[in-house]
A and B are shown apart, each in its own frame.
Chain A
Amino acid sequence: EIVMTQSPATLYSSPGERVTLSCRASQNIGDTLAWYQHKPGQSPRLLIYGASTRAADVPARFSGSGSGTDFTLTISSLQSEDFALYYCQQYSHWWTFGQGTRVDVK
């Protein structure tokens, strides 16, 4: 099983700041990586697939990068609605998720 490790577990930030979330795969997965945003009481929302392709209607402040084993989700200027839980998921071999990074108010 490919294990996905996200860091940090919680990231404290303020509106307007640039934030970077990390995701590491236990083996090379190429660019077969997706990112999701999850808010309490809502369905998870697909943000990024193919490591760097934004899903439909996702604001341009969200960007994904990386390949192989190390990946990054960047929010260029944090908005109030971006405080949430973020997951990465690989689809190279079956489908596994990271533990999540919570973006919280500083």
Chain B
Amino acid sequence: QLQLRESGPGLVKPSDTLSLTCTVSGGPLTGTLDYWAWIRQSPGKPLEWIATVYYNGNTFYNPALESRVTISIDKSNYQFFLKLGSVTAADTAVYSCARQKDFYYFDFWGQGALVTVSS
């Protein structure tokens, strides 16, 4: 069974860069129909797709966040990463990583990691 687990600091200062790692176990990151994504949920708001990466390094970003986001992958270590720069309080959210099947829906998720932006 595929499992995903988010890790990273739970507190980030305003204007700093948020950095998260998703570690995948139970399967490779190189499936031809498998993409890897970050999603977040801020208090009182719907889930928001942030970015997606393919094992070959192709990346896709939410246009609303694209200027501040970088997603990357290290398939040999079964990890993919999120960096979100110039954070503000509005970036406080639970950040989840997920496998995106066929570039469509999200069939395996991590439990999520709360990141608070505060000085």
Residues of A whose CB lies within 8 Å of any CB of B are: 4, 32, 34, 36, 41-46, 49, 55, 87, 89, 91, 94-100
Contact = CB atoms under 8 A, between A and B. Distances in A.
Interface string B25-66: 000000000000000000000111100000000000011000
B86 interface: no
B46 A42 contact: no
Given A43-B112, A46-B107, 10 more contacts: A34-B105, A43-B111, A44-B98, A44-B106, A44-B109, A49-B101, A49-B105, A94-B49, A97-B46, A97-B48
20 contacts: A34-B104, A34-B105, A34-B106, A36-B106, A41-B111, A43-B96, A43-B110, A43-B111, A43-B112, A44-B109, A49-B104, A55-B107, A87-B47, A89-B105, A91-B103, A94-B62, A95-B100, A96-B46, A99-B46, A100-B46
Interface in B63-108: 63, 96, 98, 100-101, 103-108
Contacts of B110: 43
A91 B7 CA distance: 27
Nearest to B47: A97
> B interface, by DSSP: helix, strand, loop or mixed?
strand
B88 to A, nearest CB: 21
